[in-house]
Amino acid sequence: MTPNLFTPLQLGAIRTPNRIYLAPLTRCRAGAGNVPNELNAEYYRQRASAGLIISEATSVSPRGFGYPNTPGISTDAQVAGWREVTRAVHDAGGRIFLQLWHVGRISHGSYQPGGEPPVAPSAIRPRGKVFTGQSMEDYPTPRALELSEIPGIIAEYVHGARKAREAGFDGVEIHNANGYLLDQFLRDGTNHRTDAYGGSIANRARLTLEVTEAVVGVWGSDRVGIRLSPGGVFNDMRDSNPMQTFGYVLRSLTPMNLAYAHVTQVTAQDIAHGAKGGVGPRELRPDYPGWMVTAGGFTQESGNRALAEGWADAIAFGVPFLANPDLPERFRRNAPLNTPDESTFYAPGPKGYTDYPPLEG
């Protein structure tokens, strides 16, 4: 039978009743101490009809922050806040994975303990500006991590994975995309190291694979996913041969039997910012026989087409789910969609967050 968005899927240890997933969306609405709050719980509860909720990116370390009011998963208070979120989602019949995150060089001293420079694989300053909470400033030049520090980075992901279990999540997704720390190690445009974590594709992929193995050690492979953005240029990213780089990573991940690989496709907006098509889930599918989730500008029609063609097994929807908390039911009825209010994507409070109306009846 040809699958569609409403075909259930056994995704590792989790059975999802549909293939309409909530993509990880940074919304900048955590409370003091980067602690999730009641508003966050309500937001996720409203979207519990998703086959799977993938949470917003969540920092595994105090050094992993680079945006205001984003959540963490390293303190007991953060765990308690997330526990209220997972309870709300489960009470509404949903399933939720936590996305584990470290921003690396996409930060500023105002977010770092002691005002120190952010860390990265190499001391290469990204182009662009960072919002410090008060003003927009140029990104600083990061400090290259010493070889002796890398086990500590892996330990931070393990700590975050353990805390996610305490918080009641159903699994975790490793954020290895969009120009953040693990992606910075992976690509040769941002990794100029000459040690065991730089140079060849195998060396640049080493941290990705070691972090994944370590997180699997906490959760088991069937409750771990990983997100990759092979064609992305966000956060000043580039790679000389992304098909080779990401093909190697996906082939190396295959024996781990993860719950899924979440591979984003290049959108028209990405291309307008310098990305090139031709490297994404469709092209990389031969390198990964496991379940593949994808995201990137999908509609109901294009999502069903990707599933039918076999290069995706589930579709993660971002902006459509942001503005339509009952997106699966709207798709089922072919009902009109709410219009998203971009001015409220990262603004505080409930407006544009928990006040989008559901379908009547």
- 50 Cβ contact list (under 8 Å, min separation 6): 18, 20, 21, 22, 94, 95, 321, 327, 328
**What phi and psi values does residue 24 have, to the nearest 5 degrees?**
-70, 120
The residue extents of the domains of the chain are 9-344
The residues assigned a catalytic role are 180
Q: What pLDDT sits at residue 35? A: 98
3-state DSSP: the chain helix, strand, coil percent, rounded to 5? 40, 15, 45
Going by C-alpha positions, the residue among 359, 290, 300, 286 that lies closest to residue 331 is 300
Going by C-alpha positions, the residue among 77, 100, 87, 88 that lies closest to residue 168 is 87
Six-digit token pair at 68? 């205001």
Rounded mean pLDDT for each run of 10 residues along the chain, 361 residues in total: 96 98 98 98 98 98 97 98 98 98 98 97 96 92 98 98 98 98 98 98 98 98 98 93 98 98 88 81 98 97 98 98 98 97 96 96 62
Cβ count near 361 (within 10 Å) = 4
Q: What pLDDT sits at residue 361? A: 62
Q: How many CA atoms lie within 13 A of 321 on its CB side?
A: 31
Going by C-alpha positions, the residue among 175, 285, 190, 278 that lies closest to residue 240 is 190
DSSP 234: T
Q: Which fold has domain 9-344?
A: TIM Barrel (3.20.20)
Going by C-alpha positions, the residue among 249, 238, 328, 325 that lies closest to residue 6 is 328
Q: What pLDDT sits at residue 252? A: 98
Six-digit token pair at 278? 């031709």
Going by C-alpha positions, the residue among 275, 160, 252, 157 that lies closest to residue 204 is 252
Q: What pLDDT sits at residue 253? A: 98
Q: What pLDDT sits at residue 133? A: 82
